[in-house]
Amino acid sequence: MYDKLKAVEKRYNDLNELLSDPQNYCPAIRIPEIRERAIRINAIVNKFQDLQKFVKELEESKKILEEEQDPEMLEMVEEDLGKVEIQKQKAEEDLKVLLLPKDPRDDHNVIVEIRAGTGGEEAALFSNDLFRMYSRYSEEKKWQVEILSSNLTGKGGFKEVIFNISGKGVYSRLKYEGGTHRVQRVPDTESQGRIHTSAVTVAVLPEVEDVDIKINPADIKIDVYRASGPGGQSVNTTDSAVALHTCPPE
């Protein structure tokens, strides 16, 4: 892992050198791309530098333990050694996560669908609570929320609400929110103080990019023929069935 991290660190330094040194040839059109690549690996480099610092501190502490004779100093160093060892292990675990392959859809905007399940009016109110929760979280992240469609109930809940969230890294943060959410509480609609269980389903869908498909008219074959079966007057006497086939060259 250390060899891979060293390579990432070198790549990060090379990218920063391209951005900061005016002597380097870096076309303006590539600057945003290079900056984005540097930002993506910045967290890995910072965590790797923390790990290197912890390793160095451990080496120095172990050296002191070998040379020191004072019992109080030895006790203090051993205590610090344990703390640094925990920090080192935490940094290694964090780096393992950071080095996992990135989902190419992580930076996509999302469409979130919240639908009330079992629980009646209380489930609809819970749907509204979830919508408010995602909306407030989006505000903190500086994301934009736009309601696409909604179905309100009489008490201010949502039978269904579909909304778009756009911003940086939206899908990476929300992709694990999909599934069934359940709540057990005494609802506002309950007069006897009984606990109700309600469920709501949440779907988080990444927005797909527009795909520009070009079809050469020369690759299209059109067949017309007479239809079969009932269908009205003259259906079997005219070429009313049309089939289009694409025959791209191999």
pLDDT tens readout for residues 175-203: 999 999 999 888 776 777 788 889 999 99
CB 174 within 8 A of CB 108: no
Q: Give Cβ neighbours of residue 80 (< 8 Å, ≥ 6 apart).
A: 57, 61
pTM for this predicted structure:
0.56
* pLDDT digits 0-9 by tens, 150-170: 999 888 899 999 999 999 889
Distances (CA, A) of 104 to 70, 92, 101, 172, 182: 56, 24, 9, 10, 30
Q: Write the pLDDT tens digit of every residue in 128-140.
A: 999 999 999 999 9
**Segment (H or E) for 74:** helix 71-98
**Alpha carbon 2 to its chain's center:** 27
The alpha carbon dihedral of 122, 186, 179, 109 has a sign of positive
Decide if domain 110-206 falls under CATH 3.30.70.270.
no
- Say if residues 127 and 157 touch (Cβ distance below 8 Å): yes
Query: CA–CA separation, 204 vs 132, rounded Å?
Result: 16
Predicted local confidence at residue 189, as pLDDT:
67
pLDDT of residue 14: 81
**Tokens linked to 87:** 């920090």
| Mean predicted confidence (pLDDT) in 38-58 | 87
One-letter amino acid for residue 137 of the chain = Y
Domain boundaries in the chain?
Answer: 2-98, 110-206, 217-246
Is 107 a residue whose pLDDT tops 70? Answer: yes
